[in-house]
Amino acid sequence: DLDEKYNIERKKFGVVTPTDINYFKSVLSEDRVLTDESEVMPFNIDWIKNCRGQSQVVLKPKTVEEVSQILTHCNAKKLAVCPQGGNTGLVGGSVPVFDEIVLSLALMNKIISLDEISGSLVCEAGCILENLEQHAKEHNLIMPLDLGAKGTCHIGGVNNFEDILKLYRSAKLSLGEILSAFEMADAAAIDACVSSLKLTNPISSYPFYVLIETHGSNETHDSEKLGGFLEQEMASGLILDGTVSSDPNKIHAMWTLRESISTAVLLDGYVFKYDVSLPLKDYYKLVPKLKQRLGPTARRVCGYGHIGDGNIHINVSIPAYDKRTLEMLEPFIYEEVAKLDGSISAEHGIGFRKPHYIHYSKDATSLQLMKDIKQLMDPNGILNPYKVLPD
Ligand code: 2HG
Ligand code: ZN
């Protein structure tokens, strides 16, 4: 229910008229101006079905010139615009809130250049990471933005969170420059993949799991190094069990297990997703705290994420959306994060979901600076209104 969930008023922007639509059709070809309700709908809903907008028009430019003409028109008419990429955001940043025009970047997917000497790639804003990865690979390069790089990979069971931190320090010492990923997931997170998505957990059940990946330039040397490290830590007892592989299919399966958690939890019903960063010593603290606070209300409280940058994803699922649960979680979780000197948003951004919590992580001076920059670039505030900055 929009009113209950949003509690926000439409700002005084213009309303799209048939004249505007005709103008857009003159700039883009007719088939790149979508106004049919069923065609527009997918652009109004985010993939976790958390937020839902009411836009009536989607524009699909192919060039920078077209974007420029559209935005000049919208700015003159004070028509609000919601730019949209893959619509895979988790904080409601990518979908309209009211009737903002959706500016889809889906067709701006050209790779402009790849300089093999400097290793820099220039591409349009709508490119999909996987396609860029493929292109870079053809030139013997990788995308360092890769979410699941491929090298040699290990997934193992570790007993408690303290052991994960010990293992992380040891991995940095032993693997040094070839360590490319150190991811963790707790039992409840892996259980979502196994029970809801029927994925295979390649090892037995443990309270915690770690996925370690190395990506160096000498495969033999790298797997020797990883092998040595694993032997040492199985002997020390930090690693209880594990599987290691350089076979691309097996590596893919390990990453699939880790990367599917986000979707698997959605099958529980309604999910509150938190993306926070915390000092590593306190990284896992909030998961048991929330579990205790919610008691049987929660179907699942799980934690997983990127140890390497202090980013944990805490997912809380319940059978169906319920305002009381929301009130038990927020602002409590943000207060706790602030107490621990963490950040209320680590990698998913502020979007529509968090502007009123941003003060837990940013002081008034920083916020004013952000507002000043926004004002300079977008004086009428037509670009993605209601997002990021609090009023
Ligand atoms: C991940 O690391 C993603 O899997 C999604 O950032 C996290 O859904 C989430 O909470
Ligand atoms: Zn993540």
Q: Which atom of ligand 1 is nearest to the CA of 311?
A: 2
Sheet holding 241-245, edge to edge: 241-245, 152-158, 208-214, 179-186, 300-306, 311-318, 270-277
Q: Within this chain, do residues 250 and 201 fall inside the same structural domain, yes or no?
A: yes
Whether 235 contacts 170, CB under 8 Å: no
- What does the pLDDT average to over 336-346? 97
Q: Among residues of the chain, what percentage have pLDDT more than 90?
A: 83
- C-alpha dihedral, 304 to 305 to 309 to 311, nearest 10°: -70
Single out the residue of 278, 269, 256 nearest to residue 161, CA to CA: 278
CA of 236 to the centre of ligand 1 (A): 31
b vs e for 310-324, b when ≥16 Cβ sit within 10 Å of the residue's Cβ?
bbbbbbbbbeebeee
CA of 69 to the centre of ligand 1 (A): 36
Judged by average pLDDT, the poorest of 159-163, 220-224, 382-386 is 220-224
CA of 83 to the centre of ligand 2 (A): 22
94-105 confidence digits (pLDDT tens)? 999 999 999 999
Q: Which atom of ligand 1 is nearest to the CA of 347?
A: 6
Alpha helices in 260-363 (DSSP H): 261-266, 286-294, 323-329, 332-339
- What does the pLDDT average to over 62-73? 97
Is residue 38 pLDDT above 70, yes or no? yes
Is 175 a domain residue?
yes
User: Which of left, alpha, beta for 117 (phi over 0: left; psi -120 to 50: alpha)?
Assistant: alpha
Ligand 1 within 6 A of 90 CB? yes
Single out the residue of 202, 182, 155, 147 nearest to residue 283, CA to CA: 182
Q: Within this chain, do residues 250 and 272 fall inside the same structural domain, yes or no?
A: no
Quote the number of domains for the chain.
4
CATH of the domain at 15: 3.30.43.10
Is 309 a domain residue?
yes
Residue nearest to atom 3 of ligand 1 (CA): 262
Residue owning tokens 């303290």: 162
Q: Within this chain, do residues 29 and 84 fall inside the same structural domain, yes or no?
A: yes
CATH of the domain at 224: 3.30.70.2190
Residues in contact with 390: Cβ distance below 8 Å, sequence separation at least 6, in sequence order: 355, 356, 358, 359, 367
CA of 346 to the centre of ligand 2 (A): 9
134-164 confidence digits (pLDDT tens)? 999 999 998 877 554 456 778 888 899 999 9
Q: How many residues does the chain have?
A: 391
CA atoms lying within 13 Å on the CB side of residue 98: 17
Task: Measure the CA–CA gap between 103 and 349, rounded to whole angstroms.
Answer: 19
Ligand nearest to the CA of 88: 1
Tokens (6 digits) for 95 = 């979908």
CA 42 to chain CA centroid, nearest Å: 19
Domain end among 258, 293, 311: 258
pLDDT value of position 34 = 98
pLDDT value of position 308 = 87
Q: Which atom of ligand 1 is nearest to the CA of 306?
A: 2
Domain region containing 123: 112-146
Ligand 1 within 6 A of 185 CB? no
Is residue 304 pLDDT above 80, yes or no? yes
Q: Within this chain, do residues 18 and 88 fall inside the same structural domain, yes or no?
A: yes
Higher pLDDT, 46 or 343: 343
Residue owning tokens 């209601």: 386
Tokens (6 digits) for 302 = 């799980």
Q: Within this chain, do residues 233 and 141 fall inside the same structural domain, yes or no?
A: no
pLDDT value of position 263 = 95
Is 388 a domain residue?
no
168-178 confidence digits (pLDDT tens)? 999 999 998 89
- What does the pLDDT average to over 265-278? 97
DSSP letter for each residue of 334-353: HHHHHHTT-BS-SSS--TTT
DSSP letter for each residue of 29-64: -GGGEE--HHHHHHHHB-TTS--B-----EE---SH
Computed over every residue of the chain, the mean pLDDT equals: 93
Q: Within this chain, do residues 224 and 187 fall inside the same structural domain, yes or no?
A: yes
Biggest CA–CA distance in the chain, Å, is 73
b vs e for 22-32, b when ≥16 Cβ sit within 10 Å of the residue's Cβ?
ebbeebbeeeb
Single out the residue of 184, 183, 180, 178 nearest to residue 225, CA to CA: 178
Residue nearest to atom 8 of ligand 1 (CA): 262
Ligand 1 within 6 A of 273 CB? yes
Residue nearest to atom 5 of ligand 1 (CA): 262
CA of 315 to the centre of ligand 1 (A): 9
Is 55 a domain residue?
yes
- What does the pLDDT average to over 285-292? 98
Is 100 a domain residue?
yes
Q: Which atom of ligand 1 is nearest to the CA of 263?
A: 8
Higher pLDDT, 128 or 383: 383
CB atoms within 10 A of CB 62: 18
Confidence of residue 47 (pLDDT cuts 50, 70, 90): confident
Q: Within this chain, do residues 254 and 164 fall inside the same structural domain, yes or no?
A: yes
CA of 155 to the centre of ligand 2 (A): 17
The DSSP element (H or E) to which 104 belongs, if any, is: strand 101-104
**Burial class of 369 by CB neighbour count within 10 A (0 to 12, 13 to 18, 19+):** exposed
pLDDT value of position 147 = 55
- What does the pLDDT average to over 166-187? 94
Q: Which atom of ligand 1 is nearest to the CA of 273?
A: 10
Q: Within this chain, do residues 157 and 222 fall inside the same structural domain, yes or no?
A: yes
Domain end among 212, 233, 258: 258
- Extract long-range pairs of 322-330: CB within 8 Å, 24+ residues apart: 322/270, 323/4, 325/272, 325/294, 325/297, 325/298, 326/272, 328/293, 328/294, 328/297, 329/272, 329/274, 329/290, 329/294, 330/357
pLDDT value of position 172 = 95
Q: How far is CA 317 from CA 267, 302, 354, in A?
A: 9, 9, 19
- Return the SS3 of 136: helix
Is 389 a domain residue?
no
Mutate-to-test residue for ligand 1 from 88, 260, 275, highest number of ligand atoms within 8 A of CB: 275
Quote the ipTM score. 0.99
Ligand nearest to the CA of 311: 2
Q: Which atom of ligand 1 is nearest to the CA of 48?
A: 8
Is residue 333 pLDDT above 70, yes or no? yes
Is 85 a domain residue?
yes
Give the type of residue at 7. Answer: N
Residue nearest to atom 9 of ligand 1 (CA): 262
pLDDT value of position 2 = 47
CATH of the domain at 315: 3.30.70.2740
Whether 19 contacts 74, CB under 8 Å: no
pLDDT value of position 273 = 96
CA of 150 to the centre of ligand 2 (A): 17
Q: Which atom of ligand 1 is nearest to the CA of 147?
A: 2
244-259 confidence digits (pLDDT tens)? 988 889 999 999 999 9
Is residue 285 pLDDT above 60, yes or no? yes
Mutate-to-test residue for ligand 1 from 348, 353, 354, highest number of ligand atoms within 8 A of CB: 348
pLDDT value of position 1 = 44
Ligand nearest to the CA of 302: 1
CA of 44 to the centre of ligand 1 (A): 21
Ligand 1 within 6 A of 313 CB? yes
Tokens (6 digits) for 5 = 């969930």
